[in-house]
Amino acid sequence: MNSSSDTPLVLLIDDAEDVHRLLKAKATYAGYRLTSAYNVTGGLKAATALGPDLVLLDLWMPNSDGFSALKALKDSPATMDIPVIVLSGSNHTSDKVRAFELGAADFVSKPFDFTVLSARLRNAHRTSRLLFLLAQQSHIDGLTGLKNRAHFDEEFHAQLKRRQRSHTELTLVLTDLDHFKRVNDEFGHPAGDAVLEAFANLLAQSVRGDDTACRYGGEEFALVLPGTTAAAAAQLCERIRIAAEALEFQRYPGLSLTASFGVTDRPSTPGTNSNSAWVEAADHALYDAKQSGRNRVHLFNETGGVSALKIAS
């Protein structure tokens, strides 16, 4: 979805010059930005590169048909969520059915009235925005505002694929609040919520734009750090650990916070590139940090064990 402007970007894929001229003038007046492609190949490239808010796709063009273009748009992860309105001189029911089965948001027959087309553009864009917002909300933890476990699973899987393709650094951190049950027992669950929110804010403020901080479950959190070595991630965790110790809770005198961290830049089993193998490695390091006294950062090492390096005391 294009986010460079409040004005929706519409990609028109049509071989007819007069259609482009007509829609260029009308679209600007109606509050849209229009970009043009005159064949399927150029249209698919433009859709991938520009990420338009909407696509208007002619069904019949020389040397190719809109059905194949529609299928390609809906098969690609980069463009599958872009609403596509099919334009066609055909009024056959079979064409309409096939277009909808392939994922078209709407079907408009030529010649068309621009007022009607504009209303359909607005409707498709509004529906797309609502679906986008719902998808975002479904990936956000309600208490902390961080991404949730479902988002972590998707994001980390995508980062592992990226790492395989580009051989870039990737580090996973699991962190757990120490003695969290004691906080709830001694100060009450509102205090526990305050601790979770404060630590979540600390994580959010500590990571970069490309990083992802998630609430993994309960009092456990995860950091996905692309382009970061394990050593650099450990230093980041140490800074977070120190900052967590310094947090004060004015409503709950005597309440303090510490956290333990498990860091890994590799899966638990060499050659295994799955979420679960990486989580197992980070969890192994986290468990060792807990067993060693808590409030410290431990790294999963090259031999498949936990590094003896103790960053915190």
Crossing angle of helices 93-101 and 66-75, in 10° steps, is 20
Last residue of a domain, one of 136, 171, 189: 136
* CA-based max dimension of the chain: 75
Integer Cα distance of 223 and 263 in angstroms: 9
Inter-residue contact 24 to 67 (CB < 8 Å): no
- Tokens 């909808």 locate to 100
Structure tokens at 29: 């007046």
Residue 290 included in any domain: yes
Do 13 and 127 have their domain in common?
yes
Integer Cα distance of 104 and 113 in angstroms: 19
Integer Cα distance of 250 and 241 in angstroms: 20
Total of domains in the chain? 2
Do 153 and 291 have their domain in common?
yes
Integer Cα distance of 144 and 147 in angstroms: 9
Residue 106 included in any domain: yes
What is this structure's pTM?
0.61
Do 160 and 295 have their domain in common?
yes
Last residue of a domain, one of 136, 164, 183: 136
What is the structure's pLDDT at 306?
62
Do 89 and 158 have their domain in common?
no
Do 224 and 191 have their domain in common?
yes
The DSSP result for 180-238, as a single string, is: HHHHHHHH-HHHHHHHHHHHHHHHHHHS-TT-EEEEEETTEEEEEEET--HHHHHHHHH
Structure tokens at 238: 């140490």
Residue 309 included in any domain: no
What is the structure's pLDDT at 138?
80
CB neighbours of 202 closer than 8 A, spacing ≥ 6? Answer: 240, 243, 244, 247
Number of other CB atoms surrounding residue 300 within 10 Å: 27
Last residue of a domain, one of 89, 112, 136: 136
Integer Cα distance of 125 and 232 in angstroms: 42
Q: What is the pLDDT along the chain (313 residues), one digit of tens a residue?
A: 554 457 889 999 999 898 898 898 888 888 899 999 999 999 999 999 999 999 999 988 877 778 989 999 988 878 888 999 999 887 889 999 999 988 899 999 888 888 888 898 999 988 888 877 776 678 888 889 899 999 999 999 999 999 988 889 999 999 999 999 999 889 988 899 999 999 999 999 999 999 999 999 899 999 999 999 999 999 999 999 999 999 999 999 999 999 999 999 999 988 888 999 999 999 999 999 999 999 999 999 866 566 644 444 3
Do 295 and 181 have their domain in common?
yes
- Tokens 């409503």 locate to 251
Domain extent at residue 40: 9-136
Do 182 and 54 have their domain in common?
no
Residue 308 included in any domain: no
Catalytic residue set: 219
Inter-residue contact 75 to 44 (CB < 8 Å): no
Q: What share of the chain is helix, strand, coil (3-state, %, to 5)?
A: 45, 20, 35
Report helix, strand or coil for 251: coil
Assign residue 158 the CATH number of its domain.
Answer: 3.30.70.270
Q: 173: part of which helix (H) or strand (E)?
A: strand 170-177
Do 103 and 168 have their domain in common?
no
Do 118 and 248 have their domain in common?
no
Do 16 and 103 have their domain in common?
yes
Residue 311 included in any domain: no
Inter-residue contact 80 to 66 (CB < 8 Å): no
Do 216 and 101 have their domain in common?
no
Integer Cα distance of 203 and 243 in angstroms: 10
Do 98 and 176 have their domain in common?
no
Residue 179 included in any domain: yes
Assign residue 16 the CATH number of its domain.
Answer: 3.40.50.2300
Residue 215 included in any domain: yes
Residue 98 included in any domain: yes
Q: Which CA distances in Å does 132 have to 81, 120, 139, 215, 271?
A: 9, 18, 11, 21, 36
Residue type, 281: A
- Tell me, what DSSP letter sits at residue 224? E
